Every structure is written in structure tokens, then in C-alpha cells.
Amino acid sequence: MLKDRPVAFCNACNEYSHDSAVINQRHTRTKNGEKCEGLFRSALREDDWERCFACDGTGSVMGKACDRCDGEGWIVVRRY
Ligand SMILES: [Zn+2]
Ligand SMILES: [Zn+2]
């Protein structure tokens, strides 16, 4: 199944979000004991993203989460 396109990405750790409420908010998640200081940037346009070719946009490869896109099925191409 194809995954829905995310709407935002963290400019520090590159985590994606499907919730437009996080846009321009600090990323508050703590990962491996380190707090992310990033900011979620909007990526609402279709050309902000490309479908992951490793998993064909499904987010999984042979039943496991795709390494390249972290199981999202999309790669952000916007960088600011
Ligand atoms: Zn982050
Ligand atoms: Zn993938």
C-alpha cells in the first residue's frame, strides 16, 4: 500500500510528520537521550517530496521498514 505524503519535516533530524499543526514548532522529541533542537518546516507541495524508490512508496521492503525512508515511503527534497 502506498503511504500518504507527510506535510512537514524536522530541519535537524529529518523526522517527518503528517500533522500540519507541528509546522514552525520546535521538535520536542528526545531520541537516544538527546533532545532534538530542530524546527518543523512545512513541505506541503507535491514537489517537496519524492517517492522512495527503494520501497516504491510502500514504506516496507520484504516485510521490514524501509531503511532509506525509515518506513515513510517518501523522501523530502526540500532542504530549508
Ligand atoms: Zn528533530
Ligand atoms: Zn523506502
Gap from CA of 36 to ligand 1 centroid (Å): 5
Do 77 and 48 touch, CB atoms closer than 8 A?
A: yes
Beta-carbon-side half-sphere exposure of residue 61 (alpha carbons within 13 Å):
13
* Mean pLDDT of the residues in the chain: 92
**What are the tens digits of pLDDT across the range 21-53?**
999 999 987 777 888 989 999 999 999 999 999
Gap from CA of 73 to ligand 1 centroid (Å): 18
Gap from CA of 53 to ligand 1 centroid (Å): 24
The residue-averaged pLDDT of 63-80 equals 91
pLDDT at residue 79 above 90? no
Gap from CA of 10 to ligand 1 centroid (Å): 5
> Among all ligands shown, which has an atom nearest to the Cα of 16?
1
